[in-house]
Amino acid sequence: MAAPSSLASSHLYRLADLRRAGVAAAAPAHPQQLRLGCSRRRAQRVVAMAGSGKFFVGGNWKCNGTKDSVSKLVTELNAATLEPDVDVVVAPPFIYIDQVKNSLTDRIEVSAQNVWIGKGGAYTGEISAEQLVDIGCQWVILGHSERRHVIGEDDQFIGKKAAYALSQNVKVIACIGELLEEREAGKTFDVCFKQMKAFADSITNWADVVIAYEPVWAIGTGKVATPEQAQEVHAAVRDWLKTNVSPEVASGIRIIYGGSVNAANCAELAKKEDIDGFLVGGASLKGPDFATIINSVTSKKVAA
């Protein structure tokens, strides 16, 4: 699927270039040439990405699983060899969180898929942030397209959810993304920035937030944004944060990609500068495939 011309790619790449120009004076223009001139020094592999912190991979299990299938998946994840410099989180259905917490290696943290907007009480069917903390759940996914477009949650409601979860020390994977008709109409940035504004209107501390860009047309469809399409939106969101929140938040936050990410396409996506990891759906239900996606961080490593 081609990116719409109205996305103004050249303008965004110029912004990205300007953003990187701030470190140009401190960094050599041609690091490869520098390494050739220092051949006696053994090169180390470092992760090169726009956001600071570790590469981040989340697995959203959605409404899938049984006690037996969850047990099998946990066994596969416990046995997997995972690159050390990646933060890994899985999000089981609510009723299996305790099972997963009690059996999954501490190497992988656990997330909920939703949370109530405030303190618990007479809210049938809801789960509070306090309850998540009580069972040792460290993260929550908020703003996923299925909550927005199937359940009907609006931007402001999601932003307030995020603020309350953070106030209770539950870290947030904040999802944004456009519908197919919005992309085809050239409204990708408008939609993503509007969703970002709702988060920014409510969130004051971004230290425990990861942003997940998930184009709705790519979720569970088998379609995936090209690495260039994904990078374009990630760079735009980072520039929006720089202008509307702060340069410090923009340079520090991790922006991850979701939308039919699998073991076959993750390496090429991971190479893009502003893609700091992934939020994975169906492929996270297969232990070996999820491990491959986690280990795609090696595609982002460069010698230094």
> What pLDDT was estimated at residue 223?
85
Q: Which of 53, 45, 52 is nearest to 23 (CA)?
A: 52
Mean pLDDT of the chain: 87
Does the annotation mark 214 as catalytic? yes
153, 178, 214, 232: which is the annotated catalytic residue?
214
> What pLDDT was estimated at residue 211?
98
User: How many secondary structure helices (H) and strands (E) does the chain include?
Assistant: 13, 10
Task: Pull the structure tokens for residue 79.
Answer: 């046995």
> What pLDDT was estimated at residue 44?
67
What are the boundaries of each domain within the chain? 5-45, 52-303
Low-confidence ranges of the chain (pLDDT < 70): 1-44, 303-304
111 touches 142 (CB < 8 A): no
44-65 per-position pLDDT tens digit: 678 888 887 899 999 999 999 9
Q: CATH classification of 52-303, choosing from 3.40.640.10, 3.20.20.70, 1.25.40.20, 3.30.1300.30? A: 3.20.20.70
> What pLDDT was estimated at residue 43?
54
13: part of which helix (H) or strand (E)?
helix 9-21
109, 144, 182, 234: which is the annotated catalytic residue?
144
Does the annotation mark 30 as catalytic? no
Give the SS3 label for residue 150: helix
Distance CA 219, CA 204 (A): 29
> What pLDDT was estimated at residue 30?
35
> What pLDDT was estimated at residue 230?
96
- Burial (CB < 10 A; 0-12, 13-18, 19+), residue 216, is buried
93-147 per-position pLDDT tens digit: 999 999 999 999 999 999 999 999 999 999 999 999 999 999 999 999 999 999 9
> What pLDDT was estimated at residue 29?
36
User: Quick one: the chain helix, strand, coil %, rounded to 5?
Assistant: 45, 15, 40
**pTM for this predicted structure:** 0.85
Task: Pull the structure tokens for residue 100.
Answer: 């997963």
